[in-house]
Structure 1
Amino acid sequence: DNPDAMGTSLDMLRRAAATLLRLAEHAANRALIRRHERRLLSLVMSQILDQKVAHELADVLFHC
């Protein structure tokens, strides 16, 4: 839970995760997001990422 280690604020991480989730909900965007599946999975598994952000990114992976 150290957003400074991620290089940005916690609020910005949460907004980015929420945006990705909204994009993943539309079928047309899923192929684009699927190209970055490994990166998203690495972030979800990261020990320094906020749990709420990790949960939203896991939801992104679920939709894809």
Structure 2
Amino acid sequence: MNGGAGMNRNNPHSHANNRKPEETKEKIHRPAPVLTDKVVQDGQATAYICENFACQAPVTNCEEFGRQLK
């Protein structure tokens, strides 16, 4: 059983990566465009809940995060 093209024979869930290491690193370190205006608040982990292209106010505590998810 060869697992198909681009598959690692030892790990059926891995795929071959044809990118050069520097190209992969560049993509990883560049934030997605949707995140460019989202910033950390007061040096704390910050959550942004967004739906239909609109985001609620950012939150830094679990209780408020839970309220926004409901």
Bigger Cα Rg: 2
The alignment's TM-score, normalised by the length of structure 2, stands at 0.22
Q: Which of structures 1 and 2 has the larger relative contact order (alpha carbons within 8 angstroms, sep 6+)?
A: 1
Scaled by the length of structure 1, the TM-score of the pair is 0.23
Higher strand share: 2
Bigger fraction of residues in helix? 1
